Chains A and B, each alone.
Chain A
């Protein structure tokens, strides 16, 4: 899969003809310093942002399951309802409960606004991994997780990926217990 992306904000180029060329089914880790355009690249790839580059983009015909940099969960609902509704009822209750267990979360019926930051992050991860998009996009999915929780999360990701392409953004210094096929750097 290949796409070339350009994006300017306020006349300044965040990405200027950057080409992302990856194999289908790979786990690709994207690295760049803070403000280096990682989120912007993911948004361009998934079509949430208009690409200023007119070249062909193989990503355009895919569907995406996102963990956004913010959780983007509905606060007044339980984690369970959030995930069930976001996956359009295609994932049954038992599977979701199982996923909560795999990640070491206890109460799926607790309102999101009563959950801790780390719990919300993991619920956002469950939502993306159980959804059926062709490409999985994880933008800093481990914020607020300690190394044990992160290890569980990595195992969870590998277990539910089912060979789908995965784009991962995570802090540079993090050594992740997950097999990464390729690392892509966005040089400033």
Chain B
């Protein structure tokens, strides 16, 4: 095998990442072009609106202060549901890994959350509580099983030799957590929370469209549909995607920061 100069190899790596980036961008532009062409060909704004118009419409809508307050309304509730699920999943998965009975107790609930259709849950929750906080409950119920199951299996798959090291060195709970459990669980935590965040937004907005709480993004989406304002539907959707991606980036940065503090990355 030929040995190449390291800087040549590095150079090659750089050009190849530039190449993949370029390919990715081109693919995105290709599909945007397909979308724009479809909009022009169909020519009916009630059916489909092109990407350029959607962005313009979003900027117009953002001039209304009510849209900003709707965004805050929905973000706070959906993020709240997610954070609540995260906190419960952390506490319950830790308890479940220590006490069998906690595990047995939580298991049917997790299975039920997974099996019951979201629409049924939304309707039942609407019968019980005010629609204002519907999306908190729905995003909680969607996210909790994912986080709990992943965290529990991460804790269970902890390297038994490291656990033995912990026993032999007579480690306390704090040291065990830092040396053995956190580094093991951290990667699962990162990947499952990213998955769960997407779920929280999708289910939360779906719940708002069905429950139509006053002053939510879901209500606006619903109204836009009723008035056949297709451009608005697309613009609100884009806004929701931006909010969910923004929140995901923020959460990931926070988790990475905590990971670095605990040297668990």
Contact = CB atoms under 8 A, between A and B. Distances in A.
Contacts of B179: 74, 77, 82, 85-86
A63 interface: yes
Interface in A65-116: 65-66, 68, 70, 72, 74-78, 81-82, 85-88, 111
Contacts of A111: 263
- Most A-side CB within 10 Å, residue of B168, B171, B263, B264: B168
A68 B169 contact: no
A87 to B, nearest CB: 8
A69 to B, nearest CB: 10
Interface size range on B against A: 10 to 19
A78 B183 CA distance: 12
B170 A48 contact: no
A65 B175 CA distance: 16
Interface stretch (B111-119, B128-136, B159-167): B159-167
Given A72-B162, A86-B175, A63 B170 contact: yes
B263 A77 contact: yes
A64 interface: yes
Nearest to A87: B169
Contacts of A65: 168-169
Contacts of B180: 74
A108 to B, nearest CB: 13
A125 to B, nearest CB: 14
Interface of A: 46, 48, 63-66, 68, 70, 72, 74-78, 81-82, 85-88, 111, 127, 131
Majority secondary structure of chain B interface residues (helix, strand, loop or mixed): helix
Interface in B127-181: 161-162, 164-165, 167-172, 175, 178-180
B165 A68 contact: yes
- Most A-side CB within 10 Å, residue of B161, B164, B165, B265: B165
B86 to A, nearest CB: 21
Contact of A74 (B162, B167, B170): B162
Given A76-B263, A77-B263, A66 B168 contact: yes
A131 B165 CA distance: 13
Contact of B171 (A70, A76, A86): A86
B168 A64 contact: yes
A127 B165 CA distance: 11
A124 to B, nearest CB: 10
Contacts of A87: 169
Given A46-B168, A68-B161, A72-B165, 6 more contacts: A66-B168, A68-B165, A70-B161, A74-B162, A75-B183, A86-B175
A77 B168 contact: no
Nearest to A132: B170
Contacts of A81: 178, 263
Contacts of B175: 85-86, 88
A92 B194 CA distance: 39
Nearest to A82: B179
